[in-house]
Amino acid sequence: MNTDYLLTIGMLIGLFSIPAMLSAYADLRPPRFSMAAFILAMALMAYAYASHPGGYDAADIPNVVVSVIADIIK
């Protein structure tokens, strides 16, 4: 799988897991699933960064996400 897809999927999972963690803490529940999702997101992004030749720069990330979305729509 393309590392751009892995980075985008990891960022999307991480984005959705943060509100779930906050909700669990607010309701005094343990954030088991949301923390597991966050760890999965971090692992996906770390693997994508390590597998991509030369790594990713911070300025490249918006272009990567837009290109993945454009590739899915196309």
State mean pLDDT over 51-71: 92
Residue 57, pLDDT > 80, answer yes
pTM of the shown model: 0.87
**What's the structural domain count of the chain?**
1
| Confidence (pLDDT) at 1 | 59
| Confidence (pLDDT) at 67 | 94
Tokens (6 digits) for 32? 């088991």
Residue 24 structural domain: 3-73
60, 11, 2, 72: CA torsion to nearest 10: -90
Binned at pLDDT 50, 70 and 90, residue 55 comes out as confident
Residue 53: enclosing H or E segment and its boundaries? Answer: none
